[in-house]
A = this chain, B = another copy of it.
């Protein structure tokens, strides 16, 4: 188990680089973790892999680091799964962002549907949740969080090289979601399900595959997590 704090930074990472951390990180290292100058940390920025570094200065709101050697190159990064989900209430959205980050989602796309009640997100708070979950889960990249968009916009702009698995409930002809290890997306609808016109749009979209997550009725946030787990399970794909 690592005891080195793992921090997301914006700066470029290479041997010999030196820069200041943001004040909140200085506070976390000094006041919460009781670290001091000379202690080691791990840094990543989503571009240059993960690096060993040392704290060269740590006072109240000011911490500087010196970057030593690379631990993991960026190329080791994970699968490529986007999660599109009908926007939920605040607590459930927070949970989805945190857990989907742990489970490897590379982009999070909140979607507005006919039966979606929520309409806005606090993008700064969601980004902070994603960064914290990325640090904790030892991922190398922070998932990109998109602003909410209507389902029709999402489907119109869906990239041609990426499959989209739409999870439906109470649909007899839907196949079970199976592992898929290429570029993929998972779409989870609202608690009330998709409206008929939305179901038609999904069924007629050339990149969409309609799937089921199993025999039970899952809450939307549970469906997000179960679907991400199934898509990335070991096995065929």
Contact = CB atoms under 8 A, between A and B. Distances in A.
A199 to B, nearest CB: 12
Question: Contact residue range for chain A?
Answer: 20 to 34
Interface string A99-118: 10011100000000000000
A214 B234 CA distance: 9
B1 A218 contact: no
Interface in A187-235: 192-193, 214-219, 222, 225-226, 229-230, 232-235
B136 A219 contact: yes
A99 B1 CA distance: 27
B1 A216 contact: no
Contacts of A226: 103, 225, 229
A137 interface: yes
A40 interface: no
A27 interface: no
A176 B234 contact: yes
Contacts of A1: 170, 192-193
A227 to B, nearest CB: 9
A56 to B, nearest CB: 27
A229 B103 CA distance: 12
A177 to B, nearest CB: 8
Residue of A217, A222, A232 contacting most chain B CB atoms (<10 Å): A222
Interface in A123-159: 136-139
Pairs of residues from A and B, 3 with the lowest C-beta to C-beta distance, nearest first: A176-B234, A229-B229, A226-B229
Interface of A: 1, 78, 95, 99, 102-104, 136-139, 170, 176, 178, 192-193, 214-219, 222, 225-226, 229-230, 232-235
